[in-house]
C-alpha cells in the first residue's frame, strides 16, 4: 500500500521496485497481495496494454484507522487502553513517545 500511496498508480513490477531493498518478494506474492487488497476494497486496477495498473482507493489515514480498529476489537476486547498498556508494558513505546502521549492526553482532557 505504501508504494501505491507514494506513486499514485503502479504495475506489479513497479510495486516490486518500490519496496525496500531488504524486502525480497516474488512477483506472484506481490500480485496475490494486490488481488487480496482489491477484493477487500483497498485498491483497484485498470488494464493498460498487457499490464494491470493498480491504484489505492483507500487513503493512509482511513487504512490506519481501519487496521487499528480491527486490532483493538480482535485482540484487545475493544479496549484501546489494553492496546496502549500492552505497548507500554512490552517497552514498545520509549520515554519521548510517552511524554508526547501524556501531552496529547492532557490536551484532550482540557478540551
Give the structural domain span for 69: 60-110
**41 vs 80: CA distance, rounded Å:** 25
The answer on 64 and 49 residing in a single domain is no
Q: Please report, for the domain that includes residue 43, its CATH number.
A: 1.10.10.10
Q: Check: CB of residue 16 under 8 Å from CB of residue 4.
A: no
- Please write the tens of the pLDDT for every residue from 50-104: 999 999 999 999 999 999 999 999 999 999 999 999 988 988 888 899 899 899 9
Question: pTM (2 decimals)?
Answer: 0.75
Do residue 71 and residue 41 come from a single domain? no
Contact 14, 7 (CB under 8 A): yes
52 and 64 housed in the same domain: no
Total domains in the fold of the chain: 2
| Angle, CA 56 vertex, CA 50 and CA 59 arms, to 5° | 175
CATH code (residue 85): 1.10.4040
Q: What gap in Å lies between CA 39 and CA 96, rounded to an integer?
A: 39
Residue found by looking up cell 496529547 in the block: 104
C-alpha to C-alpha distance for 101 and 106, rounded to whole angstroms: 9
- For residue range 5-24, what is the model confidence (pLDDT) as tens digits? 999 999 999 999 999 999 88
Other Cβ atoms less than 10 A from the Cβ of 25: the count is 13
Amino acid at each position: 500500500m505504501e508504494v501505491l500511496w507514494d506513486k499514485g498508480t503502479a504495475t506489479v513490477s513497479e510495486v516490486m521496485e518500490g519496496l525496500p531493498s531488504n524486502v525480497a518478494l516474488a512477483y506472484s506474492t506481490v500480485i496475490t497481495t494486490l488481488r487480496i487488497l482489491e477484493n477487500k476494497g483497498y485498491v483497484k486496477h485498470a488494464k493498460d496494454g498487457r499490464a494491470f495498473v493498480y491504484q489505492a482507493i483507500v487513503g493512509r489515514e482511513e487504512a490506519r484507522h481501519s487496521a487499528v480498529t480491527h486490532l483493538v476489537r480482535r485482540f484487545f476486547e475493544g479496549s484501546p487502553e489494553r492496546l496502549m498498556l500492552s505497548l507500554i508494558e512490552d517497552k514498545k513505546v520509549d520515554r519521548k513517545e510517552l511524554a508526547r502521549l501524556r501531552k496529547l492526553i492532557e490536551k484532550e482532557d482540557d478540551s
